[in-house]
């Protein structure tokens, strides 16, 4: 690898090549050499293309909040923005035969994955939709007479290198219109691969494919014959191929390659960037932007602060910060002060996560001649590679993180010794306590202001014990620390892992003990008793943590095993000991007071949580029960055997294991949605989440912020509840329980734990995070991020053998590319490629959207416009849906009175022309009032021709609005074709939004004679079980009220046969609902093969900068012979009906049409269930009274 950077998206013209590097567009000689910048925006750029005459470049780059098409002169200058789509899918794809730019985007579509092709003039203006339907790419062939063939590539779920060897329903397909008449047919349908980037090259059609297992360049004749392979790349996919009609240029592993023609071998280009990199320059950390954990010390005077993988010690009121961990290329997390001048945290030095203990105030290494102590013997540092394996050139390779043995003893940091806690014994030789103390006091004489408050002795003891050393404790693999808590006395550190282990480290001896091990998920809640004797935790007993139990353990006696506090019947979480040592408090969802659903016949438990106490000793009464003695009467208390009658500072916690689960005491507060329990003196604290909708559609205004919890305090003696803080994100209590550190909107505040505080009271402290200063080296940050993403897949991918993939070999192959990255966007691309090697669904990389600072969204009016001689005419106002707050057109609002045929003359007083488009005048207008000048059209009758001004608020996104229009159009089609007897329901996803959409018309549509359930475009989620139960109901009876229409039993059971429509965009849980519909016989599936991704994720992990990375962890297996086959294949329909490009162009929906016809046929054989006639029921009037017997 000799390239100077990571090159992407190449194109060529004449003797020049253009590409993207370091988030900018560059030009270089085709023969190689020094490149120069065309842009200097430092924003993600895509697909630069030379214009056919070679004078300009056109590409997409973020402008405002979304990528837009821009152009610039090759010779410099002339920068111009051509589009104002405001949509994340916008990309340049080439040029039409007439020289217009071909752009793909979903900005006018009801489905953001359906990118359509548009023809855009080079000077900008109106983008004309091309008649191909959803496409990923378009390639126009050479003109032959009056015919011009065209090849289009189907929309991809992601590019081939990001899911290697993908074979599901959205695998790339090529369609060809051989004579330009608008009729398409599949090109090379026999290739079972992911085809992309079609190009016309020298009379052949070239394209990328991985049908042989590797991503390479191929070509065929326009007839589909004579398949040839032109590259032989095995280690990395060939990507982003482009052509000038004769030559082909592409990238692979961030390098550029050129084929002079299809009969030649590819040649790699040697290019050097001609300016210093700005994106690789170290930059000051923005702490608030990357704020992680904030954990206060014992007194609440200072906190350990985590930000972007660095850890700092920060006094709350004033003073400088102190760096605890900011080693380049290392991520620190889960910081926990030990209360004795030390801090514990997790860090991944040498690529292996371990528990570290470090002095907050440590001696600074120096070489002063005044120090006469002898230098320690030199220690050969370990490199992670055995000496026998070292070879010439080995220093260029990055060694893999070494597996850590599952041993109980502490593994020390390289070159360091174990530092025991004060009063403990040293685990290794070295400097004495006295000399350590002398060095520490000398070095830190001027650092007293950053030591823990009130910790003079403790800080000195720590400095004495640890000096500059940091103890390191290995975490047995495979695992990952999920929680960390230190005992109040600093001796013990409890560690819970993502695989259900609980470890305790003795900081005095260095011993690590395994307290418990389960196989049901993460240990997330750890808590210590005030006397540091008992550890409590919550552990799941079922997958996904639906039920969990509380357990206790004594770290002094790990072999005794844990004590069950609760039995795991409910979800018991957030344990915490009360300061008096009498109770273990916790939150549990064991409140069963349901509420009726407001839309359908159902009951649910939306607020099932209450706080509870467990009396630890058998003789401890409920604090809420009757007292034995009246106030003022002294009752002698028997002193338990083995304890002192003398009072002590910290009460001893006594646990009677027998009967613990039966000593649960409910706290007298209403049920709710509570999290994060804490226990200050005489009280409980928790977060109270107000009940609110999942989608946010039920808010008073869509501009309102999402609901956040309040911090509630419950006084145990007064039995009174109060609110300390109205709104926050999280909180953490100080060790002495007197202070609470709040995190809210990336700001940190400190308040007392016993009363509400504000700035006027003087008890509220705002913490200045700007005092944390550390320079972040991007290359080191990217390297750590890559290694962590690789480790997460190694440890959490669903198959322990990585499904046969050599994952260590993948690391060796990809890791050197990190050194060539030029931006965070490059890192995201590389991580996608890394994940793509798994060949598995749901291996995502999710970075925060990149926008220009201060940008507002592109405004939209919720209408279709066309430029006519009269001006910008409104051709359609989208009707929307009154029950969907995001599906209302601004021009359909009351008082606007706009109609189709009106002319939009001006926006905010600026006249509109062909060159000054409405979109140009709506930049940054989303959510802000604008003035429109309208000319009334014929629809206004006598007022036609009248100008008027109206105020509207443009929306940021029309997708929901166009989606509801699409659903309504489909329903009209079904009604008209069935004479009003068939119902239609569309389910857009298997999440809250899809559940809401399903119920909008559930009652109406299931009451008809037949039903079409459309799961096309379904984006997946987790509610397929609920949907399958609902659409799979069968009528088994009728409710027959007088004066009302009969109703099915059960409610909403379809009354007639059901048809299920599915397509390649139905994926994940959309795959599952399709497969379940077949297995349960809900109805025949019509359409095309689905996406093929059923290895689910939990979205649990993010990298240090917040970039989300997911691990395919939850594989799905089906019965009846289906097995594992849905993954990377999809669900085959019962009846295949394809949706070719020309059907989209004609405005037809062949799948829906076929479904209607099939339903008509089914109804002949499976008649609709009808309510019975009101006859044949038992008569209430008795028969005539029979005569009595004679003589009786």
Known catalytic residues are 842, 1068, 1127
How many angstroms separate the CA atoms of 9 and 254, rounded?
9
d(C-alpha 86, C-alpha 64), whole Å: 8
Q: What HEC string does 8-34 produce?
A: EEEEEECCEEEEEECCEEEEEECCCEE
Contact (Cβ atoms closer than 8 angstroms) between residue 577 and residue 530: yes
Q: Which helix (H) or strand (E) holds 827?
A: helix 824-836
The conformation of residue 1123, written as its DSSP 8-state character, comes to: B
Nearest-angstrom CA–CA distance, 539 and 662: 19
Encoded tokens for 626: 């009757």
To the nearest 10°, report the CA torsion of 1165, 1169, 1171, 1173: 20
In order of 65, 315, 657, 842, 1001, the CA distances from 770 in angstroms are 27, 12, 49, 38, 53
| Residue burial 415-432, b: 16+ Cβ < 10 Å; e: rest | ebbbbbbbebebbeeebe
Nearest Cα to Cα of residue 84 among 64, 101, 111, 56: 64
Q: How many CB atoms sit inside 10 A of residue 16's CB?
A: 15
Q: The tokens 């082909």 sit on which residue? A: 248
With beta carbons less than 8 A apart as the criterion, state whether 416 and 472 touch: yes
Structure-token pair, residue 618? 């058998």
- Residue among 19, 101, 9, 91 nearest 52 (CA): 101
Cβ contact 164:237 at 8 Å: yes
**E-state strands within 852-972:** 863-868, 871-877, 903-907, 910-911, 930-935, 947-952
Strand 216-220 to 228-229 pairing: antiparallel
First to last CA, the chain: 117
CB 767 within 8 A of CB 319: no
| Antiparallel, parallel or unpaired: β 1058-1062 and 1095-1096 | unpaired
1178 three-class SS: coil
Q: Are 376 and 429 in contact (CB under 8 A)?
A: no
DSSP 732-778: EE-TTSSEEEEEETTEEEEEESSS---GGGT--EEE-GGG---EE-H
CA–CA separation, 552 and 526 (whole Å): 10
Cα Rg, the chain, nearest whole Å: 34
Which residues face 200 on adjacent strands?
205
Q: Which residues of 56-90 are buried (b: 16+ CB within 10 A; e: fewer)?
A: bbbbbbbbbbbbbbbbbebeeeeeeebbbbbbbbb
Match 């750590």 to its residue by tokens.
Answer: 784
Alpha helices in 416-541 (DSSP H): 433-443, 456-466
3-class DSSP state of 491: coil
| Virtual torsion, Cα 744, 745, 747, 753, nearest 10 deg | -10
Pair of tokens at residue 983: 């119902």
Q: Token pair for residue 1142?
A: 């020309």
CB 10 within 8 A of CB 1: no
Six token digits for residue 876: 């359609």
């Amino acid at each position: 690898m000799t390239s100077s950077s990571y090159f992407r998206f190449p194109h060529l013209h004449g003797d020049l090549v253009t590409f993207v590097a370091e988030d900018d567009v560059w030009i270089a000689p085709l023969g190689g050499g020094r490149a120069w910048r065309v842009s200097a925006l430092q924003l993600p750029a895509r697909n630069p293309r030379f214009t056919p005459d070679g004078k300009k470049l056109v590409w997409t780059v973020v402008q405002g909040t979304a990528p837009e098409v821009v152009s610039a002169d090759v010779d410099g200058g002339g920068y111009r923005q051509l589009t104002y789509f405001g949509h994340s899918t916008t990309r340049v794809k080439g040029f039409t035969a007439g020289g217009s730019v071909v752009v793909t985007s979903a900005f006018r579509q009801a489905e953001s994955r359906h990118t359509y092709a548009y023809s855009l003039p080079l000077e900008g203006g109106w983008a004309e939709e091309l008649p191909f339907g959803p496409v990923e790419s378009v390639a126009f062939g050479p003109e032959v007479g009056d015919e011009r063939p065209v090849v289009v590539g189907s929309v991809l779920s992601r590019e081939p290198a990001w899911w290697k060897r993908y074979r599901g329903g959205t695998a790339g397909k090529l369609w060809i219109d051989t004579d330009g008449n608008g009729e398409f047919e599949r090109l090379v349908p026999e290739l079972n691969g992911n085809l992309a980037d079609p190009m016309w090259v020298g009379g052949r059609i070239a394209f990328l494919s991985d049908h042989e297992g590797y991503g390479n360049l191929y070509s065929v004749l326009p007839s589909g014959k004579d398949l040839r392979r032109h590259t032989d790349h095995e280690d990395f996919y060939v990507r982003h191929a482009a052509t000038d009609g004769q030559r082909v240029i592409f990238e692979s592993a961030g390098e550029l390659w050129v084929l002079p023609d299809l009969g030649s071998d590819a040649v790699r280009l040697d290019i050097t960037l001609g300016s210093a990199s700005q994106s690789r320059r170290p930059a000051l950390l923005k702490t608030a932007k990357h704020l992680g954990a904030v954990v206060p010390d014992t007194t609440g005077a200072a906190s350990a602060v985590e930000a972007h993988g660095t850890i700092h010690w920060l006094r709350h009121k004033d003073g400088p910060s102190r760096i605890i961990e900011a080693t380049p290329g290392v991520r620190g997390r889960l910081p926990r002060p030990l209360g004795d001048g030390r801090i514990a945290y997790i860090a991944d030095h040498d690529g292996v996560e371990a528990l570290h203990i470090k002095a907050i105030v440590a001696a600074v290494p120096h070489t002063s001649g005044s120090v006469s102590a002898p230098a320690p013997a030199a220690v050969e540092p370990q490199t992670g590679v055995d000496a026998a394996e070292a070879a010439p050139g080995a220093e260029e390779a990055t060694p893999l993180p070494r597996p850590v043995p599952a041993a109980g003893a502490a593994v020390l940091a390289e070159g360091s010794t174990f530092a025991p806690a004060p009063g403990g014994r040293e685990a290794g030789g070295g400097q004495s306590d006295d000399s350590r103390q002398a060095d520490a006091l000398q070095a830190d004489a001027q650092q007293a202001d950053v030591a823990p408050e009130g910790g003079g002795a403790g800080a000195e003891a720590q400095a004495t014990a640890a000096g500059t050393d940091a103890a390191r404790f290995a975490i047995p693999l495979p695992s990952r620390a999920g929680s960390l808590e230190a005992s109040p006395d600093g001796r013990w550190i409890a560690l819970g892992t993502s695989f259900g282990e609980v470890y305790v480290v003795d900081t005095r001896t260095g011993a690590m003990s395994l307290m418990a091990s389960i196989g049901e998920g993460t240990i997330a809640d750890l808590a210590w008793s005030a006397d540091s004797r008992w550890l409590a935790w919550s552990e799941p007993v079922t997958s996904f943590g639906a039920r969990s139990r509380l357990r206790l353990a004594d770290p002094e006696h790990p072999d005794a095993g844990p004590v069950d506090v609760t039995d795991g019947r409910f979800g018991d979480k957030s344990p915490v000991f009360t300061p008096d040592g009498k109770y273990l408090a916790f939150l549990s969802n064991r409140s069963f007071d349901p509420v009726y659903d407001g839309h359908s016949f159902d009951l649910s438990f939306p607020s099932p949580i209450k706080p509870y106490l467990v009396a630890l000793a058998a003789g401890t009464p409920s604090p809420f029960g009757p007292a034995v003695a009246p106030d003022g009467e002294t009752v002698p208390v028997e002193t338990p055997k083995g304890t002192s009658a003398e009072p002590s500072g910290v009460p001893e916690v006594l646990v009677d294991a027998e009967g613990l689960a039966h000593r649960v005491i409910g706290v007298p507060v209403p049920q709710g949605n509570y999290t994060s329990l804490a226990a200050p003196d005489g009280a409980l604290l928790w977060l109270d989440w107000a009940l609110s909708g999942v989608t946010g559609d039920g808010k008073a205004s869509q501009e309102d912020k999402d609901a956040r919890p309040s911090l509630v305090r419950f006084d145990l003696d007064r039995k009174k509840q109060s609110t300390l803080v109205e709104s926050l994100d999280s909180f953490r209590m100080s060790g002495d329980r007197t202070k609470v550190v709040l995190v809210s909107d990336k700001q940190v505040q400190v308040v007392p734990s016993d009363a509400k505080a504000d700035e006027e009271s003087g008890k509220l402290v705002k913490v200045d995070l700007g005092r944390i200063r550390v320079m972040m080296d991007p290359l080191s940050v990217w390297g750590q991020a890559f290694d962590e993403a690789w480790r997460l897949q190694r440890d959490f991918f669903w198959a322990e053998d990585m499904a046969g993939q050599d994952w260590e070999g993948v690391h060796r192959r990809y890791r050197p590319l990190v050194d060539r990255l030029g931006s965070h966007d490059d890192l995201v691309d590389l991580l996608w490629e890394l994940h793509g090697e798994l060949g598995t669904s749901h291996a995502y990389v999710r970075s925060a959207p990149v926008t220009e600072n201060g940008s507002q969204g592109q405004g939209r009016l919720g209408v279709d416009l066309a430029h006519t001689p009269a001006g910008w005419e409104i051709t359609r106002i989208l009707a929307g849906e009154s029950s969907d707050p995001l599906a209302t057109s601004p021009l359909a609002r009351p008082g606007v009175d706009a109609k189709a045929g009106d002319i939009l003359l001006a926006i905010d007083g600026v006249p509109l022309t062909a060159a000054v488009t409405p979109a140009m005048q709506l930049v940054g207008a989303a959510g802000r009032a604008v003035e429109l000048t309208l000319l009334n059209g014929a629809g206004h009758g006598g007022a036609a021709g009248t100008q008027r001004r109206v105020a509207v608020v443009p929306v940021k996104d029309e997708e929901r609005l166009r989606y509801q229009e699409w659903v309504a159009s489909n329903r009209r089609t079904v009604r008209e074709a069935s004479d009003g007897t068939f119902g239609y329901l569309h389910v857009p996803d298997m999440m809250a939004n899809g559940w809401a959409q399903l119920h909008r018309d559930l009652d109406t549509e299931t009451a008809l004679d037949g039903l079409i359930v459309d799961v096309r475009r379904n984006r997946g989620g987790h509610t397929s079980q609920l949907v399958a139960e609902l659409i799979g109901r069968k009528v088994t009876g009728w409710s027959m009220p007088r004066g009302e229409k009969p109703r099915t039993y059960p409610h909403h059971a379809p009354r007639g046969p059901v048809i299920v429509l599915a397509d390649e965009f139905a994926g994940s849980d959309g795959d599952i609902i399709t497969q379940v519909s077949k297995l349960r016989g809900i109805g025949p599936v019509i359409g095309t093969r689905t996406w093929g991704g059923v290895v689910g994720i939990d979205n649990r992990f993010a990298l240090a900068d917040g970039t989300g990375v997911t691990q395919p962890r939850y594989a799905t297996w089906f019965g009846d012979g289906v097995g594992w086959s849905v993954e990377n294949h999809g669900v085959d329909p019962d009846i295949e009906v394809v949706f070719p490009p020309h059907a989209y162009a004609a405005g037809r929906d062949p799948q829906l049409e076929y479904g209607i016809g099939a339903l008509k046929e089914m109804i002949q054989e499976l008649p609709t269930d009808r309510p019975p006639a009101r006859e044949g029921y038992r008569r209430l009037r008795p028969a005539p009274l029979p005569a009595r017997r004679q003589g009786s």
